[in-house]
Structure 1
Amino acid sequence: METEPLALDAKVIQALSGVSTATLTTVLLKKGLRNVWLRGTRPLTPDQPRLVGRAFTLRFVPAREDLATPASWGSPISTRAAIEAMPAGCIAVVGALGVTDAGIFGDILCARMKTRGVAGLVTDGVVRDLAGVLGTGLPVWCQGTAAPPSVAGLTFVGWQEPIACGGVAVFPNDVIVVDADGAVLIPAALLDDVIAAALEQERLESWIMSQVEAGMPLPGLYPPNEANTARYRAWAKANDTRG
């Protein structure tokens, strides 16, 4: 059963747009979640922006010759139909089994996603038509490129259902944050707690960096001991602009 896509509050996007995926993995680790970084999700170009959005999931399984055919592209269950269900602002997360010799999307599909306002594409697979994909301006995180089409190695079976992508379980409407280090998943149910902890972690690490730049040694600073924790709290209180 397909899950209805949900919008993501603009305040959530604004808050997480200032938080690195490195910080998020640390925060989630402290909450007991170790497997949240989607392996193989590398930025297709080095200048892609950090993105935040709800996961719109798509799922491939291994190719089966009677199903993985060019004719399947016109099926009601196809990547083309899935794209027409994508809401503006979502991040398309595609489970492609780590297959690297069949491109899941090319320039025309990426152009349609861009036109629909999709924020970006994240996959543990690869794309094709590199020059055309780059020309669409759609930010893509993947394992690279390959010339053959998806049906050369994969069968598309559905969207907006739980998938595996990069070894991580991704459910529709989980929150995805992507930057130069790849894609990190935040379970939808933990979103508020993670945001609060992540903003504090970023603030603490910013203060620690200022101390390092001032010449302080790392032992007792990173992580901070009791004395440095007190110093940080005093600094945070004096510089609190949150009202």
Structure 2
Amino acid sequence: MTIDQRIIDTLSSVTTATLTTLLLKRGLRNVWIRGAKPLAPGLPRIVGRAFTLRFVPAREDLATPESWSSPRSTRAAIEAMPAGCIAVVDAMGVTDAGIFGDILCARMHKRGVAALVTDGVLRDVAGVLGTGLPVWSRGVAAPPSVAGLTFVNWQEPVGCGGVAVFPDDLIVVDADGAVVIPAALVEDIVQAAPEQERLEGWIMEQIEAGASLPGLYPPNEENKARYEAAKQGRK
């Protein structure tokens, strides 16, 4: 699950908004995880491989406090998480049962997990924030996970926030949320993303100078030529 530092460095400088545009141009419309918002302001942009976890609806014989000691539990899943991964938790959008609290998040942070992304909610929010683990979620709720969910497995395909996420897909999170880059497209996106950011930066410069949008965003042939000339002038 390790990532080349070049990929991390490149995508750490590219917004999730830009990434959704690039993926849209490649035919992928459904890559933004719905409901996953930064739990705290000011979190940095983070890049990591997806380590997936999956919950299903609570079933009374399985969703019990005793299940926390099972070999197939959130505790066991956390111990399998490699440093640098981003935990992506399919909680089916349930907002009245917290999937993790401060103790589990503290252990994840200690193991070097880069971030937690879920379409569900967390509990013990003050403690979670105190762990230092960056979290993207729908918010918070006091009840434990077993009040509404049954944990079933990890490292299998999941549907988080309406998006299909496979183990080892690349996840990028920032203030705009969480975006999934399919593993097979990572190199293509890494090659294209910096140029897209440069182009949009140049367009913003033109807007600030008073230029109008038609023919500029997106650029027509004339403005493409102007951009290329400006780019050469900066080299």
Give the alignment's TM-score, normalised by structure 2.
0.99
1:64 aligns with 2:59: yes
Q: Match for residue 109 of structure 1?
A: 104
Mapped partners of 1:158, 1:9: distance in 2: 28
The amino acid across from 1:191 in the alignment is V
SS in 1 for 2:140: coil
CA deviation digits over 1:24-49, x for unaligned, max 9? Answer: 00000000000000000000011111
The amino acid across from 2:95 in the alignment is T
The alpha-carbon deviation at position 199 of structure 1 amounts to: 1.3
The alpha-carbon deviation at position 94 of structure 1 amounts to: 0.2
Mapped partners of 1:54, 1:37: distance in 2: 15
SS in 2 for 1:40: coil
RMSD: 0.7
Q: Match for residue 28 of structure 1?
A: 23
Q: Match for residue 219 of structure 1?
A: 214
Q: Match for residue 122 of structure 1?
A: 117
Mapped partners of 1:170, 1:217: distance in 2: 39
Structure 2's unaligned 5+ residue stretches are none
After the TM superposition, which residues 190-229 of structure 1 pair with which residues of structure 2 at under 5 Å, given as runs? Answer: 190-229=185-224
Identity percentage over the alignment?
Answer: 75
The amino acid across from 1:24 in the alignment is L
The amino acid across from 2:186 in the alignment is L
Q: How many residues align?
A: 235
Mapped partners of 1:137, 1:13: distance in 2: 20
Q: Match for residue 153 of structure 2?
A: 158
1:94 aligns with 2:110: no
CA deviation digits over 1:121-144, x for unaligned, max 9? Answer: 000000000100000011000000
SS in 2 for 1:73: helix
Structure 1 runs of 4+ aligned residues shifted over 4 Å read none
Q: Match for residue 175 of structure 1?
A: 170
Q: Match for residue 16 of structure 1?
A: 11
Mapped partners of 1:227, 1:37: distance in 2: 33
The amino acid across from 1:239 in the alignment is R
Give the alignment's TM-score, normalised by structure 1.
0.95
Mapped partners of 1:118, 1:72: distance in 2: 23
Mapped partners of 1:36, 1:18: distance in 2: 19
Equivalent of residue 71 in structure 2, options 72, 76, 80? 76
Mapped partners of 1:130, 1:190: distance in 2: 35
The amino acid across from 1:162 in the alignment is P
Q: Match for residue 145 of structure 1?
A: 140
The alpha-carbon deviation at position 237 of structure 1 amounts to: 2.2
